[in-house]
Chain A
């Protein structure tokens, strides 16, 4: 069973709609035991970094996530803020990230303020960087829907799967073994997102 973690942050409905569409078994849950026994985990997220991390810590989820990631080694997918939480840290907050992938979230900062708006919102093209099962079936002209004010820079290029550019190059999808992250919203990205979820479900 895929568990969509409900920690009070983010749009769980659209992720659930997408999993329903592709016929995957899932449950939305905030229950510790359900999460502990997940076969796959999806960590969505919209909102502020520290708010999310402190909720995760308060619910006692940090240790469970570490166990699922490194001991049970189940596939884990972080979406948007959920991907940033997988990193070591974020410029948005002071609390430590989950540290499942080496890297950090950095704020978009443009000198000419009226040229590029923040957040980076809308459809943008991405390019394949390192190959991964999560990008199976993608060729050229890949686009996804993004909404974010902070971007991820992984420490090791090998963890960068898809790259995007918005004033600066950043990592749009990341992977470290069984840990995956998408900065974009695959649940809102037409067939590009359907493919992404199919790949995750089939892992």
Chain B
């Protein structure tokens, strides 16, 4: 049976591993290489890396760190952060990543989605959508690491990028990210109902129960985890860990 993918979503700022709360206050977690070694030994399904400040700081991806990771990890790898053109995408693919994650660049140049999809297939293009819920309950999307509001409705944008050739969506709730309060199931559901490509739910997971809800109630095909995997518990110290396989199986069935 096809397993629901549980994906550690690791935040980088250049060569450091960090963790944010609601996209702000990045705390230093450690050296990414040591962390991915642990996830490699734990045989996790897939790893996702996001350089959360690369677009904002107008930097290039840190190819050195990314290559070191790809040389250690024999599992599917995806990377996002400052992939602003086809050249950068091809370089990331060539060092051993099979998925390119686009966010800011997809908004600024939607044709890039189509170009990369033509080159390496739809399955290789993940569009990341950062969604914020206003106090009035309406949703809007943000680019540049959550700093720039874009006047497009998340559902319209999801449909548009699917049409352009995205093979998958990474949907992050900016309100819930790093809070351990659970996914924004309602928002995930709105998106999964309107596209047919797989949706990865991200932002807010605090327990195994949250993972089950994102899949069973939200309709997510995969779940991304952050804080839960790098901290011992909410408000406690760094401890790289992964949920027990049997417990996961129980909530996903």
| Cβ-based interface call for A203 (8 A) | no
Task: Compute how far the CA of A114 lies from the CA of B94 in the bound complex, rounded to whole angstroms.
Answer: 33
Residues of B115-164 at the interface with A, using a CB-CB cut-off of 8 Å, are: 120-121, 123-124
**How many chain B residues have a CB neighbour from A under 8 Å?**
30
Query: Across the interface, do B121 and A13 meet the contact criterion of CB distance under 8 Å?
Result: no
Binds A, one of B10-18, B68-76, B81-89, B183-191: B68-76
Task: Compute how far the CA of A78 lies from the CA of B125 in the bound complex, rounded to whole angstroms.
Answer: 23
| Cβ-based interface call for A125 (8 A) | yes
Task: Compute how far the CA of A114 lies from the CA of B121 in the bound complex, rounded to whole angstroms.
Answer: 21
Query: Across the interface, do B197 and A11 meet the contact criterion of CB distance under 8 Å?
Result: no
Task: Compute how far the CA of A107 lies from the CA of B123 in the bound complex, rounded to whole angstroms.
Answer: 16
With a cutoff of 8 Å between Cβ atoms, the chain B residues found around residue A188 in the complex are 74-77, 98
| Cβ-based interface call for B221 (8 A) | yes
| Cβ-based interface call for B95 (8 A) | yes
Report how many A-B pairs have Cβ atoms within 8 Å.
Answer: 81
| Cβ-based interface call for B196 (8 A) | yes
Instruction: Give the dominant DSSP class at A's interface.
Output: mixed
With A114-B196, A166-B2 known to touch, is A121 a contact of B71 (CB < 8 Å)?
no
With A122-B5, A124-B3, A125-B1 known to touch, is A147 a contact of B123 (CB < 8 Å)?
yes
Query: Across the interface, do A117 and B75 meet the contact criterion of CB distance under 8 Å?
Result: no
Residues of B23-69 at the interface with A, using a CB-CB cut-off of 8 Å, are: 40, 43, 45-46
Query: Across the interface, do A190 and B70 meet the contact criterion of CB distance under 8 Å?
Result: no
Query: Across the interface, do A13 and B93 meet the contact criterion of CB distance under 8 Å?
Result: yes
With a cutoff of 8 Å between Cβ atoms, the chain A residues found around residue B222 in the complex are 122
| Cβ-based interface call for A199 (8 A) | no
Task: Compute how far the CA of A120 lies from the CA of B96 in the bound complex, rounded to whole angstroms.
Answer: 20
CB B6 to nearest CB in A, in angstroms, measures: 10
Query: Across the interface, do A13 and B96 meet the contact criterion of CB distance under 8 Å?
Result: yes
Query: Across the interface, do A117 and B3 meet the contact criterion of CB distance under 8 Å?
Result: no
| Cβ-based interface call for A189 (8 A) | yes
With a cutoff of 8 Å between Cβ atoms, the chain A residues found around residue B71 in the complex are 17, 20-21
CB B8 to nearest CB in A, in angstroms, measures: 14
Closest to B5 in A: A122
Residues of A29-87 at the interface with B, using a CB-CB cut-off of 8 Å, are: 46-47
Residues of A172-203 at the interface with B, using a CB-CB cut-off of 8 Å, are: 185, 187-191, 193-194
Q: Which of A21, A121, A193 contacts B123 (CB 8 A)?
A: A121
Query: Across the interface, do B70 and A13 meet the contact criterion of CB distance under 8 Å?
Result: yes
| Cβ-based interface call for B110 (8 A) | no
Q: Which of B2, B76, B121 contacts A124 (CB 8 A)?
A: B2
Can you list 25 contacts pairing A with B, beta carbon distance less than 8 Å?
Answer: A11-B98, A11-B120, A12-B94, A14-B70, A14-B74, A17-B96, A21-B71, A46-B120, A47-B121, A117-B197, A119-B167, A121-B198, A122-B5, A122-B45, A123-B3, A143-B3, A145-B76, A147-B98, A185-B76, A187-B74, A189-B75, A190-B74, A190-B75, A193-B74, A194-B74
Which 4 pairs show the lowest CB-CB distances between chains A and B?
Answer: A13-B96, A14-B96, A123-B3, A190-B43
The interface of chain A, by Cβ under 8 A from chain B, is 11-14, 16-18, 20-21, 46-47, 113-114, 117, 119-125, 143, 145, 147, 165-166, 185, 187-191, 193-194
